[in-house]
Amino acid sequence: MQTVRKDIHNSEMPVLCQSCEARHQGICGALSGDELVALAKSTRRVHKDAGEELMADAMPIDSYASVLRGVIKLSKVLEDGRQQVVGLQFAPDLLGRPFAAESRVTAEAASDVDLCVIPKPALEALLSRSAPLEHRVMMQALRELDEARDWMVTLGRKTAAEKVASFLYLIATHMDPCDEALETSFDLPLSRADIGDFLGLTVETVSRQISRLKSDGVIGIVNFRQVSIPDLARLRLRCG
Amino acid sequence: MQTVRKDIHNSEMPVLCQSCEARHQGICGALSGDELVALAKSTRRVHKDAGEELMADAMPIDSYASVLRGVIKLSKVLEDGRQQVVGLQFAPDLLGRPFAAESRVTAEAASDVDLCVIPKPALEALLSRSAPLEHRVMMQALRELDEARDWMVTLGRKTAAEKVASFLYLIATHMDPCDEALETSFDLPLSRADIGDFLGLTVETVSRQISRLKSDGVIGIVNFRQVSIPDLARLRLRCG
DNA sequence: CGGTTTGTTGAGATTTTTCAATTCGAGTGG
DNA sequence: CCACTCGAATTGAAAAATCTCAACAAACCG
């Protein structure tokens, strides 16, 4: 978020919103044509490689970003280094805590990502002028709250086996947009260590549970990162 | 929420908002005088005893409520009965998921509570007319999201001892508004079983950790529910 | 008072972590 | 093209944390 590279910027038209609308419209579905054109002027398309940090906990926020492609990992760290992933963001989410001076989480590109970066003042000006836009931001916040609470159930009350199954199920249903297919295949956006930090488990436990799911035929592991799921309903049963 | 008792309704004036403003203004700080008067007409002041269910998961919502006094417990249950408390609401929070047809959690009075109930259509009409009000609701959603993510760290990465200390610290800082006092005393709004469901622990583990904090002199237990904390900073150290 | 619910405590069982040893795959330089 | 190396992932065995089961004590309620 600090080092914005302008090179890839496509200046033809509302870059942000072409993509957004292609995938469920993101922030921009709520804007008028005029507003879109104005917005496109202040946005920058940016690419980040997997692993790059986008925002640090307790650091001032100077811009927001709309996720165009890829997965972003939100996490928090305890003083002694224990880490917890508190959320994942997929396109077309808005990245950045609205109306906060500083971030409350660390954001990192989990996979290669494309972002559409918007300076903080530009978005906030737009928010205060466009009630529909603010409404949309609120709807995202409410959805994220629902997701966080669902995940709290997983963290607090599920066994390690159920946690890993729940994680795979979550990713499967978010990554493969051609939904409802019983059979899917995808690349995990997180390392085993990150999965552990998401589930509140150690790497070893995650690995053991993945191995078990594999030997039970619930999932197939192609290439460590690449997972195939022959029957989503069967995975669902393992989620508790 | 279903069985609204009108008996205690105080019809003089904006019941809701007197109380709200007394304690940090809740929803109503954003409304004009006219709007307040209009709102007061459709609100009902309601009392609920500890343990009463206010809203059931997956049930249609027909009203919202502003919490005037007491604590409300939000929880989710797995098919097999495992339960997780996913949030607590204190005055002056707004209870009810805005813009959702049905609830995604079960809400229950943790202590005796006073509510100011607003029919769903009345609040939503107001929301669509008043941008400042919608803004305020969004700010609450964002704050709840921050809290949920903080709690995910506790659930996923802390030990049982740290979880219990964190819970007591959370309650201590929320219950006693005369904040920053190093020394406090309060009634726990939750039973040991509920604390376990909040922390993802069994009742027995909660009880053992409370006993340990007591024998270490970090807390004092007067009457099972009544806790005194001689030194908040010392408790804080136990939170991890 | 009984009976019931709520909380505490102990001992053994279970799950998960920790520590240690390997294996796998990708990238590098000869 | 093939060792070599490095980080990520897997696997095993022992240790630690937490849960389960069971007994009991304390408060609560008609």
Give chain B positions within 8 Å (CB) of A197: 156
Q: Check whether residue A32 and residue A127 sit in a common domain.
A: yes
**Residues A153-173, mean pLDDT to the nearest whole number:** 97
Residue A240 contacts B where some CB pair is shorter than 8 Å: yes
CATH number of the domain bearing residue A207: 1.10.10.10
* Structural domains of chain A, count: 2
Q: Check whether residue B186 and residue B125 sit in a common domain.
A: no
Selected residue of A61, A64, A80, A86 to mutate for chain B interface (largest B Cβ count, 10 A) = A86
pLDDT > 90 fraction of chain A, expressed in percent and rounded: 68
Q: Check whether residue B167 and residue B137 sit in a common domain.
A: no
pLDDT the model gives residue B175: 82
pLDDT > 70 fraction of chain B, expressed in percent and rounded: 84
pLDDT > 90 fraction of chain B, expressed in percent and rounded: 68
Q: Check whether residue A73 and residue A182 sit in a common domain.
A: no
Residue B146 contacts A where some CB pair is shorter than 8 Å: yes
Q: What is the pLDDT of residues B160-210, one digit of tens each?
A: 999 999 999 999 998 876 666 678 999 999 999 999 999 999 999 999 999
Q: What is the pLDDT of residues A46-101, one digit of tens each?
A: 999 999 999 999 899 989 999 999 999 999 999 999 999 999 999 889 999 998 98
CATH number of the domain bearing residue B126: 2.60.120.10
CA of B196 vs C1' of C12, distance in Å?
A: 22
A vs B, Cβ pairs < 8 A, gives: 112
Q: Residue A224, Cβ neighbours under 10 Å: how many? A: 11
Chain B nearest-CA distance from A178, in A, is 25
Q: Check whether residue B164 and residue B82 sit in a common domain.
A: no
Which range, of A21-35, A196-210, B194-208, averages the lowest pLDDT?
A21-35
Residue A155 contacts B where some CB pair is shorter than 8 Å: yes
Q: Check whether residue B51 and residue B101 sit in a common domain.
A: yes
Is residue B123 included in any domain, yes or no?
yes
Of A226, A219, A151, A163, nearest to A195 by C-alpha is A163
The last residue of a domain, from among A89, A115, A144: A144
Residue A104 contacts B where some CB pair is shorter than 8 Å: yes
Q: Check whether residue B56 and residue B115 sit in a common domain.
A: yes
Is residue A94 included in any domain, yes or no?
yes
Is residue A152 included in any domain, yes or no?
no
Is residue A7 included in any domain, yes or no?
no
Q: Check whether residue A205 and residue A88 sit in a common domain.
A: no
Considering only CA atoms, which residue is closest to the C1' of nucleotide C9? Answer: B208
Chain A residue with the nearest C-alpha to that of B163: A156
Contact assignment for B200 to A157 by CB distance below 8 Å: yes
Distance CA B137, CA A98 (A): 13
Q: Check whether residue A140 and residue A25 sit in a common domain.
A: yes
Is residue B8 included in any domain, yes or no?
no
Q: In B 162-201, which Cβ lie closer than 7 Å to strand C?
A: 191-193
Residue B143 contacts A where some CB pair is shorter than 8 Å: no
Is residue B4 included in any domain, yes or no?
no
Residue A74 contacts B where some CB pair is shorter than 8 Å: yes
Structural contact between residues B126 and B36, judged by C-beta atoms closer than 8 angstroms: no
Nucleotides of strand D under 7 angstroms from a protein beta carbon: 8-13, 17-22, 27
Chain B residue with the nearest C-alpha to that of A128: B131
Domain that holds residue B205: 158-237
CA of A225 vs C1' of C30, distance in Å?
A: 31
Q: Check whether residue B164 and residue B137 sit in a common domain.
A: no
The last residue of a domain, from among B119, B138, B154: B154
Residue reference for tokens 């069967």: A234
pLDDT at B20 over 50: no
Q: Check whether residue B24 and residue B136 sit in a common domain.
A: yes
pLDDT at A16 over 60: no
Q: Check whether residue A165 and residue A137 sit in a common domain.
A: no
Distance CA B201, CA B184 (A): 25
Q: What is the pLDDT of residues A55-68, one digit of tens each?
A: 999 899 989 999 99
Is residue A177 included in any domain, yes or no?
yes
Considering only CA atoms, which residue is closest to the C1' of nucleotide C19? Answer: A204
Is residue B10 included in any domain, yes or no?
no
The last residue of a domain, from among A88, A116, A144: A144
**Residues A107-132, mean pLDDT to the nearest whole number:** 91
Chain A nearest-CA distance from B119, in A, is 20
Residue B83 contacts A where some CB pair is shorter than 8 Å: yes
DSSP per-residue string spanning A7-29:
TT---SS-HHHHHHHHTT--SGG
